[in-house]
Amino acid sequence: MTARDGRGRAAGGHWSRRGVLAGLIGAPVLLLAACNDSKGDEGGNAAGGSGSSGGSGSSGADGTGTASGASSPPKTSAAVITVTPADGATAASFSDPVRVAVAGGTLGTVEVVDSAGRALAGELSADGTVWTSATAPVSGTKYTVTATAADRDRLEANANATFTTATPANTFVGYFTPEDGSVVGVGMPVSINFSKPVTDRRAVQQAITVIAEPGVEIVGHWFSSTRLDFRPQEYWAKGTRVTLKLRLKDVQGAKGVYGTQSKDVRFTVGRAQTSVADLAAKKLTVTTDGRVSAVYAISGGSPEYRTWGGRMVISEQFQQTRMNSQTVGLGSEYDISDVPHAQRLTTSGTFIHGNYWSSPSIFGGQNTSHGCVGLQDVKGAQDQGADGARFYKSSMVGDVVEVVNSGDRTVEPSNGLNGWNMGWAAWKAGSAV
């Protein structure tokens, strides 16, 4: 008998029929086992092996698998927003409007607010790509801009910017009369004197509005580069409420010179009182609300120093004041420290005032002054029954005193608040708007 090894093969290397059959039957089992065992290779990276659950794998050149089913990165909007002034600007222009533009899309919301929460209004262009503020930003102010836009795929883009506007180094203001809250006479104009010459009169006048209730046409007139007055064609009606709106902040009055004011001034016109000083008759007739309320004896300018003619508005009132002839170019003619009940009519020094140093006989009888109109009064301004005191008490700033028959020419409209001596057509011709 031939000896056999443990695998059914005869010694000498020949398979027996039975051994071959056994080998054929066992082979598939071994192959299956080999296939199954391949998953257990260290690292699990057999070529052609399946990937992790949820997605098929692909092998890289180094045999490393990459998951093709992983989520793709988020898409970015094609819309690009640009803000002018630029984000971070610390000396941005306050003369140009704020502009927000988008490329590759259309704007959604735009908001521009200052540090106090005040918003700049603006308008979106017809195609939705540009937003422009209705006004320029205010100087020396910090602003925050927030904007949204969307591209054609409705993907949203956002922009946030902060900038601060420059503060002008050279500025001007307007000194106005009458004062806020005052009650004035029917002849009171609005008069504004600027601290620096104005070369762009149109821009400055457009920034100033005077309105009245009841309504009436009010026109501005430039007397010089530093003075602008407003008035109606005729005297104000009594009871009229007038509002002066100064919107001069950041308005360029001259090259590199900007206004600083933004305020409202309100005043009321009181009772209607006008007076006529007839220097031929030497009497002052006062009319209040349409009726003669008083007649006073007066003394006007002498033939050497005649009183200006024309309509003059009371601009200042003094219980007592000093009058020195040197201040009006008359040398040492007089120096009276306590002139009673003095009311200014011109910038050049014409007053209507009480007089205690002249003889009572001159009032109503002779013109002896250096150009002022005088009424009988007492030293110290204490006698309230004196003509000077009575007229002073009945008057207010803005009342009109018209001088007639003085023998002198009509006062210059710019000499005091006396624009009423200019015709309406000439007055309107002096407007810059």
Answer yes or no: 35 catalytic: no
Can you list the alpha helix ranges (DSSP code H) found in 209-358? none
Domain 171-270, CATH among 2.60.40.3710, 3.30.479.10, 1.10.10.10, 1.10.340.30 = 2.60.40.3710
Give strand pairing partners of 10. 4, 14
Greatest CA separation for the chain: 183
| Domain parsing of the chain, residue ranges | 80-164, 171-270, 273-418
Name the amino acid, one letter, at 316. E
Q: What is the pTM of this model?
A: 0.78
Exposed e or buried b for every residue in 186-209, given b needs 16+ CB within 10 A? bbbbbbbebeeebeebebbbebbe
DSSP calls for 351-367: EEEEESSS-GGGTTT--
Question: Cα Rg for the chain, rounded, in angstroms?
Answer: 48
Length of the chain: 433
What are residue 213's phi and psi, to 5 degrees? -135, 115
Would you state the pLDDT for residue 71?
67
What are residue 362's phi and psi, to 5 degrees? -75, -25
Would you state the pLDDT for residue 328?
86
Answer yes or no: 370 catalytic: no
Along the 433 residues of the chain, how does pLDDT read in single tens digits? 433 343 444 434 443 434 433 343 344 333 333 333 433 444 333 333 333 333 333 333 444 444 445 567 778 999 999 999 999 999 999 999 999 999 999 999 999 999 999 999 999 999 999 999 999 999 999 999 999 999 999 999 999 999 999 999 999 999 999 999 999 999 999 999 999 999 999 999 999 999 999 999 999 999 999 999 999 999 999 999 999 999 999 999 999 999 999 999 999 999 999 999 999 999 999 999 999 999 999 999 999 999 999 999 999 999 999 999 988 888 888 899 999 999 999 999 999 999 999 999 999 999 999 999 999 999 999 999 999 999 999 999 999 999 999 999 999 999 999 999 999 999 999 999 9
Class of CATH domain 80-164: mainly beta
CA–CA distance, 116 with 128 (Å, rounded to integer): 28
What are residue 129's phi and psi, to 5 degrees? -105, -15
Give the H or E element holding residue 19: helix 17-37
Residue (of 400, 348, 354) closest to 374 by Cα position: 354
Contact 95, 136 (CB under 8 A): yes
Q: Fold for 273-418, please state it.
A: L,D-transpeptidase catalytic domain-like (2.40.440)
Could you tell me the two tokens for 60? 């890289």
Would you state the pLDDT for residue 331?
86
Can you list the alpha helix ranges (DSSP code H) found in 166-211? 201-206
Contact 178, 188 (CB under 8 A): yes
Cis geometry, peptide bond prior to residue 178 (ω within 30 degrees of 0): yes
CA–CA distance, 236 with 164 (Å, rounded to integer): 45
Would you state the pLDDT for residue 354?
98
DSSP state of 92: B
Catalytic, out of 221, 341, 353, 370: 353
Q: Which residue has the tokens 């013109």?
A: 367
- Asked if domains 80-164 and 171-270 share a fold, the reply is yes
Catalytic, out of 221, 341, 370, 372: 372
CA–CA distance, 105 with 122 (Å, rounded to integer): 19
CA–CA distance, 417 with 108 (Å, rounded to integer): 54
Would you state the pLDDT for residue 70?
57
**Residue 183 CB contacts under 8 Å (≥ 6 apart), including other chains:** 267, 268, 269, 270, 396
